[in-house]
A and B are shown apart, each in its own frame.
Chain A
Amino acid sequence: MSLEAEKNTEQLKSAASDEVAIAMSKVNKWFGDFHVLKDIDLTVFKGERIVICGPSGSGKSTLIRCINRLEEHQNGDIIVNGTTLDSNLKNIHAIRSDVGMVFQSFNLFPHLTVLENCTLAPIWVKNFTKSEAEVTAMEYLERVKIPEQAAKYPGQLSGGQQQRVAIARSLCMNPQVMLFDEPTSALDPEMISEVLDVMFELAETGMTMLCVTHEMGFAKRVADRVIFMDFGEIVEQNTPEEFFENPKLDRTKLFLSQILSH
């Protein structure tokens, strides 16, 4: 964490506006008989950065995957940038091209070069020409600090580099919202910080971000709000200061003690 970054933290905290980016109300989801998401109510404002944590299996991934319809919720409403998510394919595609997602396992396209990974969706979804898309892609690859790897294939890169390419790939679609599902969990310890740095810089640009992560340092530094989930419910949510200093529920305290103790 650089000193300058430390200083920026204060002004970061005020970036959120009062325009709504994502509104979820009374969202429920089941996998078969298993009730994964229970009455989720969550409003995310534009520019807000939210960190979601909670024990494994508590439904964090499912929650953010519902936002871009990788999972289908069964009842309740999800409105993203004013568009309601329903089975209308047009709405789904509109939302997906506005919402970027970064996965735990990177999921880069192994048969395409780094540059092609980044230009594919702009060309096919946004109708960019190849050269336009390449210019944008190189800009974002520079932002994530790997322009020199553009001609390589994902398999030739380290995990940290792959995850940064994945972030650049999402950014090339110029999304309004970025979803991160444990972006650093599959990485070797020495590579975690290079990805977190990129995410931190992204936060500085005022991007709306929802991050499922157990990197509590990142949460303290960047988040406007920390959400704690357990058994498919949002159990507690608060500013990071309050959340880490004065957790209200015993369940939260226990979780925090487990996660911070090692």
Chain B
Amino acid sequence: MTDLAPDIGNRSKFTPKPDLPPPPNTTGVSGWLRYNLFNGVFNSILTALSIIAIFFMVKAFYEWAFVNAIWEASSRDECRISSTKIGTCWAGVNVWFTRFIYGRYADAEIWRINLAFIIFIIWMVPLWLPKITSKIFIGLSAVLIYPFLAGYMFLGGERGWFMEVMVALSLTCFLFVLIHSLLCLTTGLGLYGWIIKVSGFSKKNEHQHKYPVIGFTLLTVAVVAFLINDITFKYMSNNLWGGLFLTLVISGIAIASALPAGIILALGRRSKMAVIRVLCVAFIELFRSVPLITILFMATTMFPLFLPGGMVINKLASAIVAVCLFAAAYMAEVVRGGLQAIPKGQYEAAEAVGLTYWQATVLIVMPQALKFMIPNIVGNFMGLLKDTTLVSIIGLYDLLGMINAVSHDPKWIGLHHEPLFTAAVLFFIGCFAMSKYSQHLERSLGAGNNR
């Protein structure tokens, strides 16, 4: 008994023991090296061999890619002649690089593509700034309304009345997002608040606040439509589109449509109505069990057979539809996973306060489920971006298609490695950035997780 009792006799007051430094060689760089790379003879040998192997690979690559590289040449033969060793012929990539990015789009019109992408980026930037309100509107307008503006800027040509209105609306939204963001940053009150304040509606009932806002929006759309009425862009048929630009158009549309379509399908799969449930399950299972390439071939070769005679559908359009359907089916499964993470009590509480099914879904269930789904959604988007390269097989000139085209160019015939390497780097940059961003999102949502 006395042995077990702690000896507190001469320690009437508790004083913590001082923190001692850890034993040497367990921390820091040398500690890490010792522990991870050189603990034991066998491990040390492995480490040494690996270092040697890596050294030779890097050296070979470095010589191939840089030391023996030819940067300026007018054809592949010239590359061969000017170098005695095997080295890269970056000259080919150099000459073709604009084509890799924009396809056969006319050089003089390329600024339209660049401008459209810049507008998109500016449109999205406020979403990352903490002070800005109404982010839902900004995000939704970027996904739902921006495509009309971008579509017109890419395609050009005459605008029908519908496109006229949509382009004007789109420009108006962009203008509003800009003004709203500036107002939020400088005055702390958004555009909506300012319109109500300036129009003198602030004292009126909140239900009436929408009237000056709607009025102001319609007025702006009308003014913008009037201003752009005379401006038309040169028509650039979509078979001129190509390269990374086309890859981004296809995957962008697929990504933007996949989430809403996936949500609808996932909800349909849980529906109480048997017909809807069966249809959704059938759709999801069908598109998940068929390879994308098959769907692409079906869309471009078989589907036109079922169309009424004489009707031609655009190859790009059918490819986009195919990729979208494929993406929706996969996204539906991601959404289903997110929905399953929501406890039953949330549905019950939403029902008990009298919310309708759609209100409960939009206001309670989806915002929570989306949080769980973000890593999977981003993973899916990365997959989609890469899968889009399959459209090169059905004859569209996306990035991979353009890469193949180089090797068929008589001047650069057989030039495969350098362009492929370029494409790999471009895809890696895109996907790696997405992956890092998703990790960041996961961490920041995890930190701010309010459970």
Contacts and interface: CB of A to CB of B under 8 A. Distances in A.
Contacts of A111: 367-368, 371, 450
A25 B351 CA distance: 24
A99 B351 CA distance: 11
B353 A170 contact: yes
A111 B345 CA distance: 14
Contact of B450 (A121, A132, A156, A169): A156
Interface string B88-132: 000000000000000000000000000000000000000000000
A153 B449 CA distance: 10
Contacts of B343: 107
Interface of B: 205-207, 343, 345-346, 348-356, 359, 363-364, 367-368, 371, 449-451
B354 A97 contact: yes
B354 A121 contact: yes
A120 interface: yes
A170 B206 CA distance: 24
Given A93-B354, A111-B367, A173-B353, A124 B345 contact: no
The 4 A-B residue pairs whose C-beta atoms are closest, nearest first, are A153-B450, A129-B206, A97-B354, A107-B349
B359 A124 contact: yes
A108 B368 CA distance: 12
A107 B342 CA distance: 11
A31 to B, nearest CB: 15
A121 B348 contact: no
Given A110-B450, A120-B363, A155-B450, A103 B354 contact: no
Contacts of A166: 349
Given A109-B364, A130-B206, A93 B356 contact: yes
Contacts of B353: 96-97, 100, 120-121, 125, 169-170, 173
Contacts of B359: 124-125
Interface of A: 68-70, 89, 93, 96-97, 99-101, 103, 105, 107-111, 120-121, 124-125, 129-132, 153-156, 166, 169-170, 173
B446 to A, nearest CB: 13
A121 B352 CA distance: 10
Nearest to A122: B353
> Is chain B's interface secondary structure helix, strand, loop, or mixed overall?
helix
A166 B348 CA distance: 13
B348 A110 contact: no
A159 B371 CA distance: 24
B348 A103 contact: yes
A100 B352 CA distance: 7
Nearest to B359: A124
A125 B355 contact: yes
26 contacts: A70-B348, A89-B356, A93-B354, A96-B353, A100-B353, A103-B345, A103-B348, A103-B352, A105-B345, A107-B343, A107-B345, A107-B346, A107-B348, A109-B364, A111-B367, A120-B353, A120-B355, A125-B353, A125-B355, A125-B359, A129-B205, A129-B206, A129-B207, A130-B206, A153-B450, A155-B451
A68 B355 CA distance: 12
Contacts of B351: 68-70, 96
Given A103-B352, A130-B206, 11 more contacts: A68-B352, A70-B351, A97-B354, A105-B345, A109-B368, A110-B368, A120-B353, A120-B355, A124-B363, A129-B206, A173-B353
Contacts of A107: 343, 345-346, 348-349
B352 A101 contact: yes
Nearest to B450: A153
A161 to B, nearest CB: 14
Contacts of A169: 353
Nearest to A132: B206
Nearest to B449: A155
Contacts of A125: 353-355, 359
A103 B349 contact: yes
A50 B139 CA distance: 50
B134 to A, nearest CB: 14
Contacts of A105: 345
Contacts of B349: 101, 103, 107-109, 166
Contacts of B449: 155
A196 B364 CA distance: 28
Nearest to B362: A124
Given A129-B206, A155-B450, A156-B450, A109 B355 contact: no
Nearest to B360: A124
Contacts of A109: 346, 349-350, 364, 368
A146 B186 CA distance: 34
Nearest to A108: B349
Contacts of A70: 348, 351-352
A111 B370 CA distance: 11
Most interface-central of A111, A153, A166 (chain B CB within 10 A)? A111
Contact of A96 (B352, B363, B368): B352
Contacts of A97: 353-354
Contacts of B354: 93, 96-97, 121, 125, 173
A80 B292 CA distance: 54
Nearest to B356: A93
B278 to A, nearest CB: 22
A131 B345 contact: no
Contacts of B207: 129
B348 A124 contact: no
B391 to A, nearest CB: 38
A121 B206 contact: no
Contacts of A96: 351-354
Contacts of A89: 356
Contacts of A124: 355, 359, 363
A111 B449 CA distance: 8
Contacts of A110: 368, 450-451
A156 B364 CA distance: 19
A166 B451 CA distance: 15
Contacts of B346: 107, 109
A166 B207 CA distance: 27
A110 B451 CA distance: 6
A109 B207 CA distance: 26
A149 to B, nearest CB: 13
Contacts of B450: 110-111, 153-156
